[in-house]
Amino acid sequence: MTTAPTLVWFRDDLRIADHPALHAAADRGAPVIACYLLDEHGEGVRAPGGAARWWLHHSLAALRDELAELGVPLVLRRGPAVELLPALVAEAGADAVLWNRRYSPARAIDARLKSALREAGVDARSFPGDVLAEPQDVRTGSGTPYRVFTPFWNGLRDRPVASPLPAPDALTGADAPGGDALEAWGLLPTRPDWSGGLRAAWAPGEAAALARLEEFAGELDGYAERDLPAVDASSRLSPRLRWGELSPRQVWHRIRAAGGPQSEPFLRELGWREFFRHTLFHEPDLATRNLKPAFDRFPWAEPDPTELTAWREGRTGLPLVDAGMRELWATGTMHNRVRMSAASFLIKNLLVDWRVGEQWFWDTLVDADEASNPGNWQWVAGSGQDAAPYFRIFNPERQAARFDPDARYIRRWIPEYGTDAYPAPIVDLAATRERALAAYDTIR
DNA sequence: GTGAGATTTGC
DNA sequence: CAAATCTCA
């Protein structure tokens, strides 16, 4: 008689260390089969953009290899998870399905599957793997979710965070039902292949993620210069966390162990990721609805196609904005401070609805995250619950003078900077600032 | 009910 | 210093 296998369902947790579901599967002792289901049209699912698909391909390939070393097959299937998962359970003869929870609207799928599988006698269980504390467990004194970051962070920072689980060293594989070849999913761009810059900038996969965490922990003091885009002081961990190559618990404990004056400021940033995850849990339409309803009346301008294209392609004539937008297009990322300037320019100087910019970032960022991306865009727009005041309008020239005084960052991405080939600003900063403030007055 | 406090700024 | 709302304890 053969032992029924355990199925581990991977989603945004493409790692084997500190993976509670995989760890629980090892504890069950039965053979293990892993699966990843590419469900782009399911209820509450937001299909990944172009740059994200590139990352997903490579991170899945890395996970497949890591699991193979443990003797565990990774079955790939494409379609609706609500149908694919029960079918896979039946084909594999599995008596248990384990996964790590997600906090996006797609969790409706997980809830449905969990009850259906349990009804069929399958041991279906989920685990917390993508947060420091689960949204249900973080509440104000009166029992409501936090709407302001600082009290949220004060409530969270002193809580104990569970220690990371080790990667399983001994697992038994099982004969797996057939699946798709990763290459057949067409996640990589062809005709043209625009991913050269991404390949040069990134190496997806858990091993590289862990190596980067180690490296960053060793140079944490340099984080003091994180506001200077020309300086390599960022953690560059955001896509690792987005795809779950690292868990926030691993990052939390490693950076706390590193200590020093920059430990707290960095962990606070991890707190923002957490805050927006919790926000998305409570506000599932974060990416489409103004959290401040007054902004539903905001008189956005009809986007001028020429201006919009100039913004996307980095030809606005505002060097810091253009450098950032070109960095984004080339590498799938943008320095944080430049993101704020580029977003503020689109929203406040071009008066374009923040959702237009949010969608562009969604398509082009390798770290495009369902919670952090719209959360930060709403923060810049002023429409978020704990947002920057609308009248606080970034001046991209002033930001460049303060944070890139010798234009090193600007020149890195705009070779023609300073020559006639570089365009004049497409808008008057002072006039569009006044226009934005006047627009804001209409909804107050 | 009360009052303190609120990422990232511009001019 | 603007400008002044809302959260949270």
Q: Are residues A360 and A379 in the same domain?
A: yes
Active site residues of A: 269, 272, 300, 336, 354, 377
The pair phi, psi for residue A9, each rounded to 5°, is: -95, 110
Label residue A120 by pLDDT band (50, 70, 90): very high
Mean pLDDT of all residues belonging to chain A: 95
Residue A366 CA to B5 C1' — how many Å? Answer: 36
The reply to whether the CB atom of residue A123 sits less than 7 A from any atom in nucleic acid chain B is: no
Say if residue A358 is in the same domain as residue A371: yes
Spatial distance between the Cα atoms of A321 and A346, rounded to a whole number of angstroms: 9
**Strand C bases, protein C-beta under 7 A:** 3-4, 6-9
Distance A125 CA to B6 C1' (A): 40
Window 163-222 of chain A: CB closer than 7 A to strand B: none
Written as one letter, the residue type at A22 is L
Q: From residue A188, how far is each of A359, A392, A444 by CA, in Å?
A: 20, 40, 46
Count of domains observed in chain A: 3
Is A324 in a helix, a strand, or coil? helix
| Spatial distance between the Cα atoms of A395 and A373, rounded to a whole number of angstroms | 22
Residue A188: partners with Cβ closer than 8 Å, 6 or more residues away: A53, A54, A57, A195
Same domain, A93 and A215: no
pLDDT per residue as tens digits for the range A369-424: 999 999 999 999 999 888 778 788 999 999 999 999 999 999 999 999 999 999 99
Mean pLDDT over A32-58 rounds to 98
Same domain (yes/no): A115, A49: yes
pLDDT higher than threshold 60 for residue A1: no
In this structure, are A357 and A437 located in the same domain?
yes
Place of tokens 């699946």: A179
pLDDT reported for residue A441: 86
Structure tokens at A370: 């369902």
Residues of chain A (332-351) having a beta carbon less than 7 angstroms from strand B: 336-337, 340
Residues A302 and A260 occupy one common structural domain: no
Average pLDDT over residues A230-245: 97
What is residue A35's three-state secondary structure?
A: strand
Clarify whether residues A227 and A114 are in a common domain. Answer: no
Q: Is residue A29 part of a domain?
A: yes
Q: What is the mean pLDDT of residues A123-139?
A: 95
What interhelical angle do A336-344 and A396-403 show, nearest 10? Answer: 160
- Do the domain assignments include residue A89? yes
Q: Where are the beta strands (DSSP E) in A39-106?
A: 74-78, 96-100
| Radius of gyration of chain A from its Cα atoms, rounded to whole angstroms | 23
Query: Which residue is listed with tokens 């040069």?
Result: A200
Please give the nucleotide, over all strands, whose C1' is closest to the CA of residue A271: B7
Residues A324-345 pLDDT 10s:
999 999 999 999 999 999 999 9
Q: Note the pLDDT of residue A316.
A: 97
The residue from A86, A106, A129 where one domain ends is A129
| Most distant CA pair in chain A, distance | 78
Q: Any idea what the CATH number is for the domain that residue A387 is in?
A: 1.10.579.10
What is the amino acid identity at position A100?
N
A71 CA, B7 C1': Å apart: 47
pLDDT at A351 over 70: yes
A318 touches strand B (CB under 7 A): no
| A382 or A63, greater pLDDT | A63
A444 in contact with nucleic chain C (CB within 7 A): yes
Residues 127-166 of A with CB under 7 A from strand C: 140-142, 144, 146-148, 151-152, 154-155
The per-residue pLDDT for A390 is 79
Residue A157 CB in 7 A reach of strand B = no
Beta bridge partners of A97: A7, A124
User: Where residue A42 sits, what CATH number does that domain have?
Assistant: 3.40.50.620
pLDDT at site A17: 98
Residues A327, A275, single domain; the answer is no
Residues 91-110 of chain A with CB under 7 A from strand B are none
pLDDT reading at A197 higher than 70: yes
- Do A232 and A411 touch, CB atoms closer than 8 A? no
Residue A260 in domain: yes
Q: Which residue is nearest to nucleotide C2 (CA to C1')?
A: A391
A273: left (phi over 0), alpha (psi -120 to 50) or beta: alpha
Single residue among A223, A250, A282 that ends a domain in this structure: A282
Q: Is residue A169 part of a domain?
A: no
Closest by CA position to A361, among listed A338, A384, A382, A383: A338
CA distance linking residue A101 with residue A170, whole number of Å: 24
Is A237 part of any domain?
yes
Contacts of A301 (CB under 8 A, 6+ apart): A350, A351, A352
Domain ranges, residue A94? 6-129
Question: How much of chain A, in percent, has pLDDT values that exceed 70?
Answer: 100
For the residues A172-191, what does the mean pLDDT come to? Answer: 95
- Looking at the fold, whether A324 and A389 belong to one and the same domain comes out as yes
| Strand B at less than 7 A from CB of A393 | yes
Q: What is the per-residue pLDDT for A442?
A: 86
Share of chain A above pLDDT 90, in %: 89
Domain end (from A255, A282, A309): A282
Total Cβ atoms within 10 A of residue A200: 10
Q: What is the DSSP letter of A120?
A: T
The CATH number of residue A248's host domain is 1.25.40.80
Say yes or no: Cβ of A389 under 7 A from any atom of strand C. yes
CA angle A383, A387, A391 (to 5 degrees): 80
Could you tell me the pTM of the whole model?
Answer: 0.97
pLDDT band for position A143 (cuts 50, 70, 90): confident
- pLDDT of A261 > 70? The answer is yes
Do A137 and A220 belong together in one domain?
Answer: yes
Statement: residue A123 has pLDDT above 80: yes
- A316 occurs within a structural domain: yes
Which residue's CA lies closest to nucleotide B5 at its C1' atom? A150
Looking at the fold, whether A270 and A356 belong to one and the same domain comes out as no
Q: Is residue A257 part of a domain?
A: yes
Residue A288 in domain: no
DSSP line for A45-57 = -----HHHHHHHH
Identify whether residues A214 and A301 lie together within a single domain: no
Q: Per-residue pLDDT averaged across A76-95, rounded?
A: 98
